[in-house]
Chains A and B, each alone.
Chain A
């Protein structure tokens, strides 16, 4: 029953509003009308699926997936891992995750990025993977650098990795960003601070995970992503004060 029913509503108390004037780009890109509510139909309950056949062997290793043979990206070596879950804490298996990020100096490999930090010839900055039956994912990369961005002041992004997440239904589609525990830019960043609830920001902050850190090799960071569930437990959440 709960595997087929509608997805729980988006919890707008946890989501950033469209208009967030301190994040300047939202001013002319935020719709001013209220969103129209919808009863989910066949097209909301289904969505595209992706098999292992679309994933290459190095797609989840950004250290080498753009590098010359035998070479590696420059930067602090890390592994990011965690679970893609729904609100009922159930795994979201066989879901495509895509990630992209700046290099260790804070520069993106993108036609439009002209920040003074140099490109790393061995770093492309993108990767992807498919969650396993437990919703688990992991990838290797270098820790991205913070960088300045034009927002009217002296604004710097905290180090972050962008995530694109597919679930099992079109309504679960999500793009978000992962931050790193202890980054002093998190409370200063107008993009992070579009999120009204400090706990929701904490949940986007990956934790150093010494248990999975490999001595003399790389540090691990743990990051779970939670998509909308179905067979609502939202009411229970509300009673718990979330």
Chain B
């Protein structure tokens, strides 16, 4: 017996009600805790970093209603090894400039894949959630299969976060346009 995959539909502009209730204005829902606020339990070892950036549309305007989810390996390259949802986080971009900020641990490479953080982007106007990856400009990328598969250096650079300061990385997401981010069919 087989069933057909359910179709995706846009998360819409009010995704926060269901996924980050405090951002929608439901501050006291679920005990005031949004799922995915912290990516790892506090005692997990690793180098603390902050990834931040903005989401833009094809006109270069910030997208103010996106929700991002992140999934990554830990500092030893393992997925799912730090509690049931360790390595996963969720952020609503801010309503002023489409900014996000993720405080996390620098992931390690896993197999032949270079260190990266997976990102899933949903928003009004996005019919099917978009997958992409954040790599790091000061870490070796080796023969990472995704980066190797992207022949155009300009396109490849859309997946590389730029180091900024001691522990910061900047990673913007462009849904469309000259700087369009590479999105992945996982």
User: Which residues of A are at the interface with B, using a C-beta cutoff of 8 A?
Assistant: 9-11, 14-18, 20, 23-33, 35-44, 46-51, 54, 56, 59, 65-66, 85-89, 98-100, 108-113, 124-126, 128, 162, 164, 170-171, 173-177, 191-192, 194-195, 197, 199-201, 203-204, 224-229, 233, 236-237, 240, 242
Contact = CB atoms under 8 A, between A and B. Distances in A.
Contacts of A16: 7-9, 127-128
B118 A170 contact: yes
Contact of A15 (B8, B16, B35, B63): B8
Contact of B18 (A32, A51, A98, A233): A98
Q: B interface, by DSSP: helix, strand, loop or mixed?
A: loop
A41 B31 CA distance: 36
Contacts of A39: 145
Given A126-B29, A176-B7, A203-B6, 7 more contacts: A18-B127, A30-B125, A42-B110, A85-B3, A175-B11, A194-B127, A237-B2
Given A41-B110, A59-B30, A14 B9 contact: no
Nearest to B120: A173
B79 to A, nearest CB: 4
Interface string B106-144: 000011010000101011111111100000000000000
A99 B12 CA distance: 13
Contacts of A113: 14
Contacts of B9: 16, 162, 175-177, 191-192, 194-195, 204
Contacts of A98: 18-19
Contacts of A42: 73, 79, 110-111, 113
Listed from nearest, the 10 A-B pairs whose CB atoms lie closest are: A25-B125, A100-B18, A48-B88, A29-B125, A35-B185, A16-B127, A48-B85, A28-B58, A49-B84, A177-B9
Contacts of B19: 98, 100, 164
- In this complex, the member of A20, A29, A37, A100 whose beta carbon has the largest number of chain B beta carbons within 10 angstroms is A29
